[in-house]
Amino acid sequence: MRSMKRILLINPPIYDFSAYDFWLKPLGLLRVAAQLEPFAGLTLYDYLDRLDPSVSDAMPSDMYGRGHFPSQSIAKPPQFAKIPRRFHRFGLPREDFNNFLAENPPFDAALIQTTMTYWYPGAAEVIGDLRRRCPETKIVLGGFYAQACPQHAQSLGADIVISTSDLSPLYDGLGIDGGAIEAASKQYRPPLWSAYPLLKTAAITLTSGCPFKCTYCWQGTFGPPFGHRPIEHCLQDIELLLSRSVTDIAFYDDALLVEPQAILIPFLRHIIDNRLKINLHTPNALHANLITPQLAELMTEAGFKTFYLGYESSSETFHRETGGKIVPNRLKSAVESLISCGFPRKNITAYAILGHPQTDLQQLADTMHFANDLGIHVTLADFSPIPGTPDGELCRKYVDLDEPLNHNKTAFPITFLGFDKVNQFKDLRHLLNNSLATCPNETIGG
């Protein structure tokens, strides 16, 4: 009998001006790994695992499991020469990975997940180290960067680049029968969370895709069709995570609240009825339009601890021209629904886009003040111009979009608005958020 293939799963380091563990986990990689598990021996190397024994003592977490990554200051790429910010490499040290490779027999294949397009230097580092240490290892690159920038991804030197949702090139390249995987997948296999020796935070989705077509977002135009996952699979996911003593779960859905009766409400009722104890979070920006009093009550009772709301702008014109996913005055009703069921204002945050190519239309300062008047925090979601999106394409007059580094969410707003203007908005954010600490909750927002 042929021995099982040895496959290394890699979540690469981050090269950026800033990075923070906002419940970051390589969920896509772990889902693919679950399908491969019956046919291969799998090992995970997650550069961003802050609970790795080598960094856990030095990298504390906040009460919900978030925290800083280990990092080192490095030279900026030439593209960022005029950006007056320090540049860093975030993640486990490079020498640790090289020592890991030296101490283990060569792997047959290495699967590398990518996320932000402008984080590709981390994947390039990993590919370079694998080529030097394990020249016979077949390297497979997948994830968002590989899908959004397939030609550029090909230039990194991987053997296989998975640029669509079709995984047959992966199975073929690994020499695994796709039919066998399809047959095995008839029995649901949750993401391979067992790859982590210690796990406190995790991620889950109840849906796939997004029905909205926001002009600044890649998902609605190029992502999968919107749909709901089978409820029984979602319940298996959360039961597995609870069995691993996970304390905090982040929803990675892009449209969690759409058609909630199909899956979200049954999912929440399961948690409530079975008295499951878990902290739930929404870093991917909920559609405030869709928060009803019933949903607010159920989500609060089920254990949601943070609400991040996609507000973007108080301008009706801005929303009408960029997708219309929210009517601005619905932010107030969403906040009122959450507050009425006892959810603390201090844990509600509205996202506002910084550096959008139509910033004047967006009325950013007014947007920030409006959120502050409601007594909630505002955070600036720095704009990243993604090729192929209508708003991303507007940015070609300012940067070369064919170089993914120019999609960087710290660099582009500075390039577009100027360093001083960006700092003005960031200073205003601090001022407004700090003002909430001096005001009694019940008097904020009228």
Q: What is the CATH number of the domain that holds 127?
A: 3.40.50.2300
Q: What percent of the chain has pLDDT over 70?
A: 95
Domain match, 253 and 177 both: no
Domain end point (choices 158, 184, 210)? 184
Last residue of a domain, one of 156, 184, 212: 184
Same structural domain, 96 and 222: no
Q: Are residues 176 and 250 in the same domain?
A: no
pLDDT in tens, 264-291: 999 999 999 999 999 999 999 999 999 9
Is 58 within the bounds of a domain?
yes
Q: Are residues 178 and 239 in the same domain?
A: no
* Residues 232 and 356 grouped into a single domain: yes
Q: Tens of pLDDT along 329-364?
A: 789 999 999 999 999 999 999 999 999 998 776 789
Q: What is the pLDDT of residue 8?
A: 98
Tens of pLDDT, residue by residue over 286-327, are 999 999 999 999 999 999 999 999 988 888 888 778 876 666
Three-state secondary structure along the chain?
Answer: CCCCEEEEEEECCEEECCCCECCCCCHHHHHHHHHHHHHEEEEEEECCCCCCCCCCCCCCCCCCCCECCCEEEECCCHHHCCCCCCEEEECCCHHHHHHHHHHCCCCCEEEEEECCHHHHHHHHHHHHHHHHHCCCCEEEEEEHHHHHCHHHHHCCCCCEECCCCCCHHHHHHHCCCHHHHHHHCCCCCCCCHHHCCCCCEEEECCEECCCCCCCCCCHHHHCCCCEECCHHHHHHHHHHHHHCCCCEEEECCCCCCCCCCCCHHHHHHHHHHCCCCCEEECCCCEEHHHCCHHHHHHHHHHCECCEEEEEECCCHHHHHHHCCCCCCCHHHHHHHHHHHCCCCHHHEEEEEEECCCCHHHHCHHHHHHHHHHCCCEEEEEECCCCCCCHHHHHHHHCCCCCCHHHHCCCHHHHHHHCHHHHHHHHHHHHHHHHHHCCCCHHHCCC
Tell me whether residue 193 is in a domain. Answer: no
- The number of domains in the chain is 2
